[in-house]
Amino acid sequence: MLDKFKDRTLMGVSVGLNDKFPYLNDELVFNREDTSLPISFRDEITRRIGVSPLVDHTLNFATYELHLKNLHPSEGTTVLFFIYKQSAESGLVINGEIYKGKHGNSGLFGEIYTISLSGKRVKYCDLISGDAILSRAKALRSEYPNSIFASRSDFEMEALCEGYYQDDPLCLKVFNEIAYYLGQLIGIIINALDPINVMLSDYLPMDERFMNLILFEAQKNVAVPLSRDLISVQKIGRAQFSPSLSGGIRLVSQNWISNLF
């Protein structure tokens, strides 16, 4: 792969990983089948391609890029809240630096427990993850026979969002519940971190109605008044040049420049 760049100066390589691999001594590691010892992704990739890469979670790369894009590099805390298929996690940038925590587990806000609208004790990720949203929509079909989704067996998030924009009753019910839970969770994040920006991934509805519902619920859990511009939606999954990619490139470039001096 790198042969086509052999006549150029290679500043470095960044590798973004989607799965939540753990950190060990500030490096992402995995367990290979032929050994019980954790293997460094950086060391393994270096062995294979002959170049030592910068390896991190794509969510961290994206948060770093969006922090620098929207704010002064050294200003405050940025939170990028991302809805995955089975989880809900956040990337954190504090005063211009990616914050990983001692074991790399910072931002796992979806693991916090709450009481659902049905009175059950459940994790937020089991209420607002991609799979949870789709499962909830399917479970509501019989209650909303006039919904365009009442007779459908296949669901996609984009279709549900489009139904929300068109005031489909089933979609309104689903995303009103999501706004309730997400607003609660963002209230917790605000109380813990006092961020200057909480960014949501674009796998959720992006209109003002949904944002205002989230802000309304968040305000119930926060003592200070919240401004509308605190919460924003960023194009992550559908962007042609994703923040994850550009964030990785930016970090590699910065490391290369710093090593010159």
- Structural contact between residues 175 and 207, judged by C-beta atoms closer than 8 angstroms: no
Among left, alpha and beta (phi > 0; psi -120 to 50; other), residue 96 is: left
Is 189 within 8 Å of 109 (Cβ atoms)? yes
Residue 206: what are its φ and ψ, rounded to 5°? -115, 10
pLDDT, residue 239, reads 46
pLDDT at 3: 63
Q: Do residues 181 and 127 lie in contact, with contact meaning Cβ atoms separated by under 8 Å?
A: yes
Q: Delimit the CATH 3.30.420.40 region(s) of the chain.
A: 72-234
Mark the ranges of the chain whose per-residue pLDDT is less than 50.
239-240
| CA–CA gap between residue 196 and residue 14 (Å, rounded) | 28
For 125, the token pair is 């990720």
pLDDT score, position 46: 86
Residue with tokens 């796998």: 203
**Sheet strands side by side (includes 197-201):** 97-98, 88-94, 77-83, 197-201, 231-234
Kindly state the DSSP code that residue 104 receives in the 8-state scheme.
Answer: S
pLDDT at residue 124, rounded to an integer: 95
The tokens of 115 are what? Answer: 């009481």
What is the architecture, at CATH level 2, of domain 72-234? 2-Layer Sandwich (3.30)
Check residue 34 and give its pLDDT: 67
Instruction: Give me the pLDDT at residue 240, please.
Output: 45
What is the pairing mode between strands 77-83 and 54-57? unpaired
Q: What is the pLDDT of residue 121?
A: 97
pTM of the full predicted structure?
A: 0.84
